[in-house]
A and B are shown apart, each in its own frame.
Chain A
């Protein structure tokens, strides 16, 4: 599992509330990513990070923010959750000398 832990694994929240998802890695890899998985869309990149305090937007970043204050943690925040953000969220890491990414177990978020 490449030492990736996502928390929580499941969450139900109400529309308009803030939500923070956490991704923790144990191997000090530089690159970390947040993807969302939706039927008919596959996985789409939300935000990614290439170092502490270095982040950038992905394909579907609207309504999301991220922070990386430590190498091992990458936080994804939904400032005001909407029903369209109901999804499964995956964190991934990438090792510099390898091109493939390794994924966490996912967080299933339901916004009601």
Chain B
């Protein structure tokens, strides 16, 4: 069965430093991968997706993610973190069972950016 794993419950980074939030996936076919962000008491906001093509995907708010098929990873990155990036981040993969766009989520990673 397909799944995603986010190995870190929390990532701490100083403002201005680069950040990485890790995600690995398990699927039988070609993955459709997504990153979402959740600010406190808010819904999930779509950041970016990988469907096919260039392994480096650029998204909203200066975030990007690198798809690595050999390592089955889709890590979220940003060159310079902002305090306002502090939030809960979710990696997700599309369920392979039909074209219904159901998503399977990781457990989330809390990003804390210190001033």
A99→B51 contact, CB < 8 A: yes
Complex-state Cα separation, A44 to B102, whole angstroms = 10
B102→A48 contact, CB < 8 A: yes
A101→B103 contact, CB < 8 A: yes
Select from chain B the residue with minimum beta-carbon distance to A44.
B105
A33→B102 contact, CB < 8 A: yes
B101→A31 contact, CB < 8 A: yes
Q: Which A residues lie within 8 Å of B34 (CB)?
A: 99-100
Produce 1/0 per residue, B83-109, CB < 8 A to A. 000000010101000001111111110
Of the candidates A35, A50, A103, A106, which one forms a contact with B100 in the assembled complex, judged by CB atoms under 8 Å apart?
Answer: A50
Select from chain B the residue with minimum beta-carbon distance to A105.
B43
Q: Which B residues lie within 8 Å of A44 (CB)?
A: 105
Chain B stretch 24-43: residues in CB contact (< 8 A) with chain A: 32, 34, 36, 42-43
Chain B residues packing against A (C-beta within 8 Å): 6, 32, 34, 36, 42-46, 49, 51, 90, 92, 94, 100-108
